[in-house]
Structure 1
């Protein structure tokens, strides 16, 4: 039975979505998933990365304070993760007016507080409209972006000096206000790759002559995978469930792009 499970696990290839709760980093969650699958198959992980027992990676980091759908690549499916990194995503974000933090979300230290009682829902909706389309955005200092080969967030926590990244072009396809109960407001966001919701909320606060930070963030869709319909929960992390997920959702992937990446190995995401 163990040999059969090992053979089945090592033959798996493709993309499937999982649910990431608040708390663990995307890398921690991926490592937990990998270890659970290896244990079930009776396999041990190789210590050398180039000779991994099981290739597994994810297509787009979620902050540890965020939850939602995280797309995982397994086997040769890791070479298809570029589709997820550059594809569209949807989020539900709760912002808090009047409070800025160094991380741009509730996990950070408060760096500034400003009045917000002058802001109406109409003001918020008018400002939000200016962030739709092709916009320039400065990534947060606390992020997975790298400087000298190390993540900016890690460097900052080590006390190192970090140079801000320059503003870059990003795309917002849809952006709507779904609730406004000051100081809290809720946004539905559909955006392209490389977009930071934390930067968006911070910029909205500044445009309203106040400040703002993210209180809660959920990724509800990544590429063709939605949180409610597709994401595999932790209690379903086993070889049989992953196999079913790979087969059931294979038709959602862009076949031409996926086949091309499987063949060429382009846009392969980092593995765990």
Structure 2
């Protein structure tokens, strides 16, 4: 029995041995017992699932929001829990989506955080809306316009004709505004400070498929499936140059990461509950390859661990090349 549950049961036993408790006094221990059960269930969750990240928050901010909602539901943020519980809640994401992007964000919880590295190297799928005629310093709509060129002579056939050049194993230069690091700091952070940052050399990336869905000048919509380390922003920027114009990403949605799709598997925020996530974990485990799926671990004695609430993002792991780059 978990420590908190044992303490609650002891309290209830003591009440029954004494004088009759008032209705209000009886309700409080029962509620506390319910919270203890929820906390035990939360701490037993292990695996990977997907959430729907909206535009606005960064991936780290969204992960914090998710963590806070789960801890609040289980009654774990209170000082009393901090003193009594001695277990660790680990939660992390397997592939950053920038604040301007939306879509599938794969999350690992418990031992599932160790499975997130596989999410980095797997395929991802995006719907990207590019805008011709304008280039920005961030290569997306959040940046400052750095160049403008005509686009009125570009046709749908022109775009379709060059897409083959961006399919397969290609060389790509990462954006200056990115999560890549220099001296331990992200290039995007250095750029915002106004510090000089040298462009990184082109590196090999993989595009499994790319298709033009629609063309309504100056906007064009792409459906892209790619491997890890690929930047949609760089792709759209390079397409603009190939067309003798310029372009930037106006909107970006990740529709699939690994086996998880936006429509079928990504939990919206109103379903970020312990029960919903438990159900999602069971379903998502069946989608993973056998070498990644694992059996539910046996309950561990809480006295063997120290309490800490933390989130883990793979952008902070020791291998920079393992970071996922989406925007």
Aligned partner of 1:72 among 107, 116, 134: 107
1:236 matched residue in structure 2: 271
Q: Secondary structure at the match of 2:267?
A: coil
Q: Is 2:259 the partner of 1:224?
A: yes
1:27 matched residue in structure 2: 60
Give the count of matched residue pairs.
262
Distance apart, 1:213 and its partner CA: 0.2
Aligned partner of 1:4 among 29, 37, 55: 37
Q: Distance in 2 between matches of 1:45 and 1:25?
A: 26
Q: Is 2:195 the partner of 1:160?
A: yes
Aligned partner of 1:131 among 166, 173, 181: 166
Distance apart, 1:269 and its partner CA: 2.7
Distance apart, 1:164 and its partner CA: 1.6
Q: How does 1:170-189 map to 2 (within 5 A)?
A: 170-189=205-224
Q: Is 2:314 the partner of 1:269?
A: yes
Q: Distance in 1 between matches of 2:315 and 2:241?
A: 35
Q: How does 1:186-197 map to 2 (within 5 A)?
A: 186-197=221-232
Q: Secondary structure at the match of 1:205?
A: helix
Q: Distance in 2 between matches of 1:97 and 1:204?
A: 9
Q: Secondary structure at the match of 2:89?
A: coil
Distance apart, 1:56 and its partner CA: 0.7
Q: Distance in 1 between matches of 2:233 and 2:68?
A: 31
Q: Distance in 2 between matches of 1:256 and 1:141?
A: 36
Q: Distance in 2 between matches of 1:166 and 1:31?
A: 33
1:67-115 CA distances to partner (integer Å, 9 max, x unpaired)? Answer: 0000000001000001111100000000000100000000100000000
Distance apart, 1:157 and its partner CA: 1.3
Change (3 A) 1:141 1:258: farther
Q: Secondary structure at the match of 2:314?
A: coil
Q: Distance in 2 between matches of 1:127 and 1:67?
A: 27
Q: Is 2:230 the partner of 1:203?
A: no
1:223-266 CA distances to partner (integer Å, 9 max, x unpaired)? Answer: 0000011100001111111101001121101121455xx9xxxx
Q: Distance in 2 between matches of 1:106 and 1:240?
A: 38
Change (3 A) 1:40 1:55: same
Distance apart, 1:44 and its partner CA: 3.0
Distance apart, 1:270 and its partner CA: 5.2
Q: Secondary structure at the match of 1:7?
A: helix
Question: Can you give the 5+ residue segments of structure 2 that lack an aligned partner in the other structure?
Answer: 1-33, 298-312, 317-327
Q: How does 1:237-256 map to 2 (within 5 A)?
A: 237-256=272-291
Q: Secondary structure at the match of 2:291?
A: helix
Distance apart, 1:52 and its partner CA: 8.1
Higher-Rg member (1/2): 2
Q: How does 1:72-151 map to 2 (within 5 A)?
A: 72-151=107-186
Query: What TM-score, normalized by structure 2, do the two folds share?
Result: 0.77
Aligned partner of 2:49 among 16, 33, 36: 16
